Chain A
């Protein structure tokens, strides 16, 4: 280990890095970006394969043929469809099959609602087909979220319900099941499922009050969510993204794709709506599909009910029927057989899913980018090492009156460091972050209490916090001038070097930690934050400082979020759809959604912005504005 022990070679390495730091860090950033764009190329990703041999997808012959029943069921549900879940109707059908049937009521207070104490109630209905071959120690779930027609933005799921009932009566006639099959109809989107799962595992409530479950199957191994709006579907969209960037095991996806193709129903990944990106492995469609997945993945908000199963270590996907605008032939038989095939496969499972990947990006249905490849990209983007060397270099530059390279070891060696400064600043910025994190709920509650428009008051509150936070460096500067004067110039500068080092290190560490949890989120922020962080240095030059301020304001977290939203819209809908108004409504929607989801299902997008990115940004802001080298 000459590198660690031999001071001569170490110095050589230092000098190499000092001399070339701007080029090196720029190079790393460029490599990262190129790498990201190169990932969808076929040479940089791999073909999908099944790792779990027990699944044996498509090895069984599927015989489901009761699609006419399914259509009849769908019709009768449409007839009785109302705002509330047709619990009686469902129970009647489950009981006819001899299932154990239960209902569960739940209530929760809608956060960020415009009505005071708005209570939302719902009912989950489920029936359990008991496995004849095992003692009910394991279970698989077929979940259909109930959506009333024309009530929600999303399409209704009545055809999915009809299919579920007919599948239930078909599955019931088979004796090969070794896992209990739970047919679960959930109400109120994620919240019903959240209540059900929390109750299933007997964990304390997270804001949704619920009834005890009357009965359970065994430990749930896997789950499939069906969202079929009508029998005239063209293909099945497979949705994967879960809460906080969790993804299902890649084997589940691979299995679903294979079985769907075998049964004659096209499986697709969600693709941008603009342009007709066909299923292909060509570069541009692959890139757009991958970017689309990254954009959804980064939000940390699940794209379907399956996302909540993932939170409970249950591998799950959502099969969403894509409506056809061309053909009017019913595909219910194919979908039914695909679901049958998937359940037969899951029934074969001997162990929980563990063999395949949990971290991946998908450029197409048959190719994947594994964590082993994309994490290097993240690492290159983040340029962790660069930052520290960068700061040492800074140190050298600012003290150019005695620049003996031999003296410069590491910034912390050079001077008697005073960490008070750094600690004070860190405390301050994180305090601001915490306030930002707490404020929306408090403000909203108070606004409702005093009958003020909550949206306006929320934005006013935000505006004030931002203003105060932005002004704090200026205010402190004048306040502390006297106190600061007691420092020698050298000490003063060295303190700022410490602060700079600290903030850069903090940024790098945050990115690295985040990229391991939610790669997409880390990359989305790093792409913008890293180059700008590069320019944050200690300069006397006034013009340069203005330049820094402008740069920082561009990545001011709310602005950055808006930029990301616009980018996402471009990816999804194309350039022409963008207007400032739609971006702002989208921002408002995103804000309220992330706040609500954070409270009810524990999505951590908002906390990450408030408690990770905002403080670091504020620190940079303080460095740029506070640092007056007298």
Chain B
């Protein structure tokens, strides 16, 4: 008996001592940060960028580690591990970010859905099958029609995309990269709900408590993203980790809500922050106050906890609110934390910033036969800028390389195109991919022209809304802009881990909606059926008349044959004798 009790108590002791130790080890293993950047824009709009970052100190290729999850969301983690994903970027966007109005966003994404993934260097399966599995799995996870991504929309761009995290490979090989966009994808709450569920606090506490779907979609730009990348604490990368960054970018028009540029959380989201998320290591709000004077003065209420100057220029200052310093139990117990900005001068809409680099893209041509794509890229800077330009065009817009032209308003046209990579499309299997390296002269506008022919789709290939037209997804422009250019970057957690990687500015141009020759799926079919019937009947008799061979037949001989042989000749016509 004693021994029994002894064992039991021993087990109990072991259990008691084990539980906190495992808990502690897990706690040290991953941590979670919440950030919100608020930036009043020159036009009078307000840019709100939520960023929820989860770090997990495991190697992304370590499959055993991806069996026990704490803060890192399990559904996403399992998908990453199952399909050997090293780096993942996924965004769902409503509206178009307009650089000529708003400058550049912290994370840009094209209209619709964008998915890109780098696969592991030694995958357990073929990259193509992993990609198809990944798209289908994410499609289920985020309720988005990513399952429509197939070989006809997937490319492996060689230049435009680099791994953002600590890559396991020295020489980066783009064959591990898959990139696809679905411009026709529309975003709604059904996408937001699963995205919200990946957060440790869901939308119950902390910054995510502001998420009110009615307000989140009533905006001028809405982009939610999921970004996973491997990171290293140190430069030599001895201690690998995984960073999951969930972002939500919104552009509000406070003037519509309040009649002036004034705003507060309650007017924007119809919600306030009730409490801090207990899982979050840090929970901060950054408000860009660097342009306080130029845009007309404003005041923040309540006043910020601190001011953080930026590293490049001293004029860029962020007001910082630390939710962990706020006493939610007493000060904001009744109505929660509500940040407000009030303007002294009541100017409504302003002129957009003309940033150094912006674009205008449009489709040319009328009718159902030919068309073209024109992209105008403006460089307003005093220096030449080298950019990477990438265009993915579906196969049913048959591009012609001989029509490719680059025109520049400056005379030095010949030095503009530095390099070109063109992969022609294949009907029903591969899109056209065009990558260019361009050096844009200072103070210039450059136009890239390429013509296409509209293909005839088979009638079963038309979508249900055949007359809507077909999308050509945004062209991607990637550039490393000079530092002195007015690009503000707040001191976000994730940017600290970039280890001297140069900040790449990405600009997505307008997506294009182009019609293809579409049959009227009702009337002509009746007409075609009718005429075909008539033609078929006429054809039958005419063909019969013209091709039949008339031969003389000896009647007497035929009569002589007995019944049996006549029967045989009827059944087996080839057995003549």
Report if A134 contacts B (CB, 8 A): yes
With a CB–CB cut-off of 8 A, which chain A residues contact B351? 95
With a CB–CB cut-off of 8 A, which chain A residues contact B465? 350-351
Are A97 and B349 in contact, CB atoms less than 8 angstroms apart?
yes
Q: How many residues on A have C-beta within 8 angstroms of the other chain's C-beta atoms? A: 33
Are A98 and B349 in contact, CB atoms less than 8 angstroms apart?
yes
Identify the closest chain A residue to B98 (Cβ): A130
Q: In whole angstroms, what is the CA distance A350 to B183 when docked?
A: 15
Q: In whole angstroms, what is the CA distance A530 to B432 when docked?
A: 55
Report if A275 contacts B (CB, 8 A): no
Report if A132 contacts B (CB, 8 A): yes
Q: In whole angstroms, what is the CA distance A96 to B347 when docked?
A: 10
Instruction: Report which of A96, A175, A215 forms a contact with B349, defined as CB distance below 8 A.
Output: A96
Are A132 and B515 in contact, CB atoms less than 8 angstroms apart?
no
Are A216 and B511 in contact, CB atoms less than 8 angstroms apart?
no
With a CB–CB cut-off of 8 A, which chain A residues contact B362? 200, 202, 216
In the assembled complex, the CB of B514 is this many whole angstroms from the nearest CB of chain A, namely 7
Report if B520 contacts A (CB, 8 A): yes
Identify the closest chain A residue to B251 (Cβ): A132
Identify the closest chain A residue to B521 (Cβ): A354
- Contact flags (1/0) for B233-275 with A, using CB distance below 8 Å? 0000000000000000000010010000000000000000000
Report if B99 contacts A (CB, 8 A): no
In the assembled complex, the CB of A108 is this many whole angstroms from the nearest CB of chain B, namely 20
Are A173 and B542 in contact, CB atoms less than 8 angstroms apart?
no
Report if B43 contacts A (CB, 8 A): yes
With a CB–CB cut-off of 8 A, which chain A residues contact B111? 134-135, 137
Are A351 and B94 in contact, CB atoms less than 8 angstroms apart?
no
Are A137 and B541 in contact, CB atoms less than 8 angstroms apart?
no
Q: In whole angstroms, what is the CA distance A449 to B219 when docked?
A: 62
Instruction: Report which of A98, A132, A214 forms a contact with B95, defined as CB distance below 8 A.
Output: A132
In the assembled complex, the CB of A2 is this many whole angstroms from the nearest CB of chain B, namely 9
In the assembled complex, the CB of A618 is this many whole angstroms from the nearest CB of chain B, namely 34
- Contact flags (1/0) for B344-372 with A, using CB distance below 8 Å? 00001111000000001011111100001
Which of chain B's residues 503-519 have a Cβ closer than 8 Å to chain A?
510-515, 518
With a CB–CB cut-off of 8 A, which chain A residues contact B510? 135-137, 218
Are A202 and B468 in contact, CB atoms less than 8 angstroms apart?
no
Report if A276 contacts B (CB, 8 A): no
Are A5 and B545 in contact, CB atoms less than 8 angstroms apart?
yes
- Contact flags (1/0) for A365-401 with B, using CB distance below 8 Å? 0000000000000000000000000000000000000
Are B541 and A4 in contact, CB atoms less than 8 angstroms apart?
yes
Q: In whole angstroms, what is the CA distance A131 to B219 when docked?
A: 10
With a CB–CB cut-off of 8 A, which chain B residues contact A214? 360
Contacts A134-B95, A135-B95, A175-B256; A1 near B511 (Cβ below 8 A): no
Contacts A4-B542, A202-B365; A133 near B471 (Cβ below 8 A): no
Q: In whole angstroms, what is the CA distance A270 to B112 when docked?
A: 45
With a CB–CB cut-off of 8 A, which chain B residues contact A95? 349, 351
Are B511 and A137 in contact, CB atoms less than 8 angstroms apart?
yes
Residue of A96, A132, A201 with most chain B CB atoms under a 10 A cut-off: A132
- Contact flags (1/0) for A120-137 with B, using CB distance below 8 Å? 000000000011111111
- Contact flags (1/0) for A340-360 with B, using CB distance below 8 Å? 000000000011101000000
Q: In whole angstroms, what is the CA distance A348 to B98 when docked?
A: 24
Q: In whole angstroms, what is the CA distance A1 to B543 when docked?
A: 12
In the assembled complex, the CB of A374 is this many whole angstroms from the nearest CB of chain B, namely 16
With a CB–CB cut-off of 8 A, which chain B residues contact A203? 364-366
Report if B44 contacts A (CB, 8 A): yes
Report if B38 contacts A (CB, 8 A): no
Are A313 and B367 in contact, CB atoms less than 8 angstroms apart?
yes
Report if A138 contacts B (CB, 8 A): yes
With a CB–CB cut-off of 8 A, which chain B residues contact A487? none
Contacts A137-B510, A173-B256; A352 near B366 (Cβ below 8 A): no
In the assembled complex, the CB of A572 is this many whole angstroms from the nearest CB of chain B, namely 33
Which of chain B's residues 461-487 have a Cβ closer than 8 Å to chain A?
465-469, 471
Report if B11 contacts A (CB, 8 A): no
Identify the closest chain A residue to B220 (Cβ): A132
Contacts A1-B541, A137-B511; A216 near B365 (Cβ below 8 A): no
Q: In whole angstroms, what is the CA distance A203 to B369 when docked?
A: 13
Identify the closest chain A residue to B474 (Cβ): A135
Are A354 and B467 in contact, CB atoms less than 8 angstroms apart?
yes
Are B511 and A135 in contact, CB atoms less than 8 angstroms apart?
yes
Report if B438 contacts A (CB, 8 A): no
In the assembled complex, the CB of A4 is this many whole angstroms from the nearest CB of chain B, namely 6
Which of chain A's residues 375-433 have a Cβ closer than 8 Å to chain B?
none
Which of chain A's residues 158-202 have a Cβ closer than 8 Å to chain B?
173, 175, 200-202
Are B364 and A201 in contact, CB atoms less than 8 angstroms apart?
yes
Instruction: Report which of A130, A133, A218, A354 forms a contact with B94, defined as CB distance below 8 A.
Output: A133
Are B469 and A352 in contact, CB atoms less than 8 angstroms apart?
yes
Q: In whole angstroms, what is the CA distance A102 to B364 when docked?
A: 19
With a CB–CB cut-off of 8 A, which chain A residues contact B469? 219, 352
Which of chain A's residues 304-324 have a Cβ closer than 8 Å to chain B?
312-313
Are B364 and A137 in contact, CB atoms less than 8 angstroms apart?
no
Identify the closest chain A residue to B466 (Cβ): A351
With a CB–CB cut-off of 8 A, which chain B residues contact A1? 537-538, 540-542
Are A201 and B366 in contact, CB atoms less than 8 angstroms apart?
yes
With a CB–CB cut-off of 8 A, which chain A residues contact B366? 201, 203, 312-313
Contacts A132-B220, A133-B95, A203-B366; A352 near B360 (Cβ below 8 A): no
With a CB–CB cut-off of 8 A, which chain A residues contact B364? 201-203
In the assembled complex, the CB of A49 is this many whole angstroms from the nearest CB of chain B, namely 15
Instruction: Report which of B219, B349, B511 forms a contact with A132, defined as CB distance below 8 A.
Output: B219
Report if B374 contacts A (CB, 8 A): yes
Q: In whole angstroms, what is the CA distance A214 to B467 when docked?
A: 28
Q: In whole angstroms, what is the CA distance A214 to B542 when docked?
A: 61
In the assembled complex, the CB of A98 is this many whole angstroms from the nearest CB of chain B, namely 3
With a CB–CB cut-off of 8 A, which chain A residues contact B256? 173, 175
With a CB–CB cut-off of 8 A, which chain A residues contact B540? 1
In the assembled complex, the CB of B290 is this many whole angstroms from the nearest CB of chain A, namely 22
Are A219 and B515 in contact, CB atoms less than 8 angstroms apart?
yes
Instruction: Report which of A4, A135, A200, A352 forms a contact with B515, defined as CB distance below 8 A.
Output: A352
Which of chain B's residues 38-59 have a Cβ closer than 8 Å to chain A?
43-44
Are B468 and A219 in contact, CB atoms less than 8 angstroms apart?
no
Q: In whole angstroms, what is the CA distance A351 to B521 when docked?
A: 13
Are B348 and A96 in contact, CB atoms less than 8 angstroms apart?
yes
Instruction: Report which of A132, A202, A351 forms a contact with B374, defined as CB distance below 8 A.
Output: A202
With a CB–CB cut-off of 8 A, which chain A residues contact B220? 130, 132, 175
In the assembled complex, the CB of B532 is this many whole angstroms from the nearest CB of chain A, namely 15
In the assembled complex, the CB of B526 is this many whole angstroms from the nearest CB of chain A, namely 11
Are B44 and A98 in contact, CB atoms less than 8 angstroms apart?
yes
Q: In whole angstroms, what is the CA distance A219 to B256 when docked?
A: 27
In the assembled complex, the CB of A550 is this many whole angstroms from the nearest CB of chain B, namely 43
Contacts A203-B365, A350-B465, A352-B515; A135 near B545 (Cβ below 8 A): no
Q: In whole angstroms, what is the CA distance A96 to B350 when docked?
A: 8
Report if B218 contacts A (CB, 8 A): yes
Identify the closest chain A residue to B545 (Cβ): A5
Which of chain B's residues 93-125 have a Cβ closer than 8 Å to chain A?
93-96, 98, 111-112
In the assembled complex, the CB of B218 is this many whole angstroms from the nearest CB of chain A, namely 5
With a CB–CB cut-off of 8 A, which chain A residues contact B514? 219
In the assembled complex, the CB of B9 is this many whole angstroms from the nearest CB of chain A, namely 66
Are A137 and B94 in contact, CB atoms less than 8 angstroms apart?
no
Residues on A lying within 8 angstroms of B by beta carbon are 1, 4-5, 95-98, 130-138, 173, 175, 200-203, 214-216, 218-219, 312-313, 350-352, 354
Given contacts A175-B219, A203-B366, A352-B468, 4 further A-B contacts (CB under 8 A): A1-B537, A203-B365, A216-B360, A218-B510
Residues on B lying within 8 angstroms of A by beta carbon are 43-44, 93-96, 98, 111-112, 183, 218-220, 253, 256, 348-351, 360, 362-367, 372, 374, 465-469, 471, 510-515, 518, 520, 537-538, 540-542, 545
The 10 closest A-B pairs by CB, nearest first: A135-B111, A98-B349, A202-B364, A351-B467, A135-B96, A1-B541, A137-B513, A354-B467, A351-B468, A132-B220
List, sorted by A's number, 10 A–B pairs whose CB atoms are closer than 8 Å: A4-B541, A96-B349, A130-B220, A135-B183, A137-B513, A201-B365, A214-B360, A219-B512, A351-B466, A352-B469
